[in-house]
Structures are given as C-alpha cells and as structure tokens.
Amino acid sequence: MAEVMRVEVAYARLEKQELFSVTLPFGATVRDAVEAAGVLAKYAEIDLAKNKLGVFGKLVKPDTPLRDHDRVEIYRPLIADPKEVRRQRAAEGKQMKKGAGEAENE
C-alpha cells in the first residue's frame, strides 16, 4: 500500500466554516488537496487564480507540497482595506474627542 497523508481543507463563508478531510498520497500539493476536497465544485465563487491559499495561516502557492495533518485554508477576498478602515475609525475618534473637549470648555 502506498503511503498516504491526511489533510484538512478549510473554507470560511460568512455563514459558517466548512472543513473537509482528505487522504492524499505523499508529495501532494495544496492544489491537489483543494481539488480532492471537492470545494471548487461546491463553491463556484472560489477561483484558485484569485483566492489566496494558506497552510496554518501562512500564505502559500498552489504547488506547495503538503505534510501529514496540514490544514489548507482558502481565503476570501477582503471586502474593505483594513488600513483604510483603521484610518476612518481614527478620524471619527478624533472628531468625537474634539467635540467632547469643546463641550467641557463651555
């Protein structure tokens, strides 16, 4: 019997996270795991040319070889730029503080 490894493929949607367990031959890649899990057929919005992939939170390329018990993660595109969101929150905070300071001086 050929040596095999078990890996998980994770895809988080807004509603819930899906985990798929697959058994692959040693030497299999991230792409092999995603295809074996059937995620591409189940979720049409996943495009390996656009969606980023990772193994335990570290970005990897689809041709990255896997090890036994790895967890492949398929990342959704960001809806908003996190840096821009932080800038907006900081600007709103400054406005609120400035407004509160003026109220105290009256």
Read off the pLDDT of each residue in 7-34 and give the average, rounded to a whole number. Answer: 94
Mean pLDDT of the chain, nearest integer: 86
* pLDDT reported for residue 35: 96
- Per-residue pLDDT band at 22 (split at 50, 70, 90): very high
Cα distance between residue 66 and residue 22, in whole Å:
12
- 64-102 pLDDT, tens digit per residue, is 999 999 999 999 877 777 788 788 888 887 665 555 555
Percentage above 90 pLDDT, the chain: 58
Q: CATH number of the domain at 4-75, out of 2.40.10.480, 3.30.930.10, 3.10.20.30, 1.10.3720.10?
A: 3.10.20.30
Domain range summary for the chain, segments of one domain joined by +: 4-75
Q: How far apart are CA 24 and CA 30, in angstroms?
A: 11
Please give the pLDDT value at position 1: 46
pLDDT of residue 79: 73
Cα-based distances in Å from 8 to 35, 56, 80: 12, 10, 28
pLDDT at 89: 83
